[in-house]
Structure 1
């Protein structure tokens, strides 16, 4: 269920953050990346016909994992608020409608999956928003699967709050984390799930009968890294302090660069990613090559790769099929890049900008 030095430091480190007595044997499971934690959670807790509430835009594995477990995904969409002329949009302007969210809970609702900071939007859910979710989960006796892999990548003075730390939520929440995201070692595939034994015992059963365990060498390295972070927590020597400072600069660099060619970034509050509004191009270049039934952002990304040498992800893939057509004017970019890559971006965008001049 996890290399003992790692389960112990996870219990100690997150016990302080969540203000819980965490038992490394009962409340911690080390998994093959956060993906492994998510898959194990869905397989362990979602049964045939159960409903799972998914907040859009969503990390793309949530829907197929729900379906693979026999569940029925139910979607609720973050709505962007209007911004003033010339004003940059912010991920914080994308909000849940409390009435709409409440309407998604039924007698068949088993779980709600929360992702904060959100991928692809970069929204950091406020404490008030989390309290709304928590209240509904408790009212309807629903499990919260909280994907918090970007918890250390938060900007502009925003604070990440774990929903498991709110009153009454530890007993119904699985908190999922990632060493790959936390320590910039994404190929190592070491993740974890934290939660009450009444839920964790089912995850242990699934893991024991599927992947069985996560390779020990990676676990040992992550254990040492967390021990260092615990000793240096909140200090300038902490990687969890250094990383967001560096990525904050990269984020702002990319925001400025994308604006130069008429893309309109939605400034993220956290995560690796930002999305940019391509509506101006959609109105000027409506007839891009490709299948006309394909969402516009997919055709735009293919055009951009071929003609501009720049890659992004169409944001419509992070929405359920009925809603894709309403959000096909955004592209996701990753700003966690070396300085040399950001400079290459600037060069390509400058060339693009020159081509746009009359």
Structure 2
């Protein structure tokens, strides 16, 4: 049954972090501290499969590029607020190849990570009283980023496929609530946010889905924000992008595409992101970015510029996809053997697994911090850490509280 957790304080809006009880830890602190404690108590290593950071270094050519950049005086000073010209050109070239049409550096803004890039978009276009549409499940950072502008989030469901109760499903089985989407649009709506490949489902939005969303954006004069941080990690034959739909070319004039060098080069700590879009929209992203952090770390921008250049020469992205396909084959074989349903990932490096068949003893002792969350998946996550030594993230954190699975 859905949790009845509710907070009537209007200042909280729908931000998941505000639904925590006083003194309650956020999910990342709770899960990571639980894992660290379990590792210390057992003396055995805990396998962290729950967070979007890498356990290995970026490729050697990227590390070498950082070291080289650090020796140059100009890359140890402030970078231009728009971004390092070398990186602007490389990112523009990257999109030109992907889109099959020219993208120029003035259509790019470099940001301090993709998250700050999205924050800049929201601050550039939203104000108090506006509304932004987000598909649920959602990446949790979208919500506070939007609500800090004074805008309101409207949630549209990506429907849970019933057959996921008993069997393996694909991204296409997770269908958008189209009626809900249309009903969510009104005169206050300014932005629709999509995430493809999707975190946590692993769904790549189809061309048909993007066309339908795009037609609504055009009809109602909305901006489409496409979070594509896993753009270089997809396993489908094609990766449709809203900014490059042949059937709807005018959508590119209202689309802001979000990218991440951290995800692309296994360097999330470098905090280099980028936004691509038409010049008349990018200028507002630049204005917000300049006020938020002014500029992004200069030596790391230069390193990413060199990284893009080398990646194309070495087929780095293509080889990374091949490596991940092999990893997924090993990973999913475990759940096939156990008979646990999962969603085949179209892209990204997450796997959404249905663990409802896993039964925990009724007298199993949970700490109060876990019991207080009131959802089965938090108990499963705790049990997996303590008994199996594997970290996973409870997927209810990607839902608003009233849609979370309760203990019943």
1:199 aligned onto 2:281: yes
**Contact 2:164 2:342 (C-alpha < 8 Å) held by counterparts:** no
Count of residue pairs brought into register by the alignment: 320
The equivalent residue for 2:136 is 56
Question: Per-residue displacement from partner, 1:73-111 (whole Å, max 9, x unpaired)?
Answer: 111111133439964222221111322221111111110
Cα pair distance change 1:85/1:211, threshold 3 Å: closer
- Tell me how far 1:22 sits from its aligned partner: 2.8
Q: For 1:120 and 1:4, locate their aligned partners in 2 and report how far apart those are by CA, in whole Å.
A: 34
Question: Per-residue displacement from partner, 1:25-80 (whole Å, max 9, x unpaired)?
Answer: x3111111111111111111111111111011111101111111111111111113
The equivalent residue for 1:335 is none
- Tell me how far 1:210 sits from its aligned partner: 2.1
The equivalent residue for 1:354 is none
TM-score, scaled relative to structure 1: 0.84
Matched residue of 1:30: which SS? strand
Matched residue of 1:100: which SS? helix
After superposition, residues 66-105 of structure 1 pair within 5 angstroms as: 66-83=146-163, 87-105=167-185
**Contact 1:178 1:192 (C-alpha < 8 Å) held by counterparts:** yes
Relative contact order (C-alpha < 8 Å, sep 6+): which is higher?
Answer: 2
Superposition RMSD on alpha carbons, in Å? 2.1
TM-score, scaled relative to structure 2: 0.74
After superposition, residues 260-271 of structure 1 pair within 5 angstroms as: 260-271=337-348
1:186 aligned onto 2:271: no
Q: For 1:86 and 1:97, locate their aligned partners in 2 and report how far apart those are by CA, in whole Å.
A: 22
After superposition, residues 278-357 of structure 1 pair within 5 angstroms as: 278-281=355-358, 285=361, 289=366, 290-291=370-371, 294-325=374-405
**Contact 1:109 1:142 (C-alpha < 8 Å) held by counterparts:** yes
The equivalent residue for 2:104 is 23
Cα pair distance change 1:286/1:19, threshold 3 Å: farther
More strand by share: 1
1:162 aligned onto 2:244: no
The equivalent residue for 1:254 is 331
Matched residue of 1:202: which SS? helix
1:209 aligned onto 2:291: yes
Cα pair distance change 1:85/1:174, threshold 3 Å: closer
Residue of 139, 160, 166 corresponding to 2:219: 139
- Which 5+ residue runs of structure 2 have no aligned equivalent? 1-81
1:228 aligned onto 2:305: no
**Contact 1:268 1:274 (C-alpha < 8 Å) held by counterparts:** yes
Q: For 1:80 and 1:325, locate their aligned partners in 2 and report how far apart those are by CA, in whole Å.
A: 13
- Tell me how far 1:18 sits from its aligned partner: 2.6
Q: For 2:345 and 2:254, locate their aligned partners in 1 and report how far apart those are by CA, in whole Å.
A: 29
1:174 aligned onto 2:256: yes
Residue of 337, 352, 358 corresponding to 1:275: 352
Matched residue of 2:371: which SS? coil
Q: For 2:399 and 2:231, locate their aligned partners in 1 and report how far apart those are by CA, in whole Å.
A: 22
1:107 aligned onto 2:187: yes
Matched residue of 1:264: which SS? coil
**Contact 1:124 1:158 (C-alpha < 8 Å) held by counterparts:** no
Q: For 2:203 and 2:133, locate their aligned partners in 1 and report how far apart those are by CA, in whole Å.
A: 18
Cα pair distance change 1:72/1:86, threshold 3 Å: closer
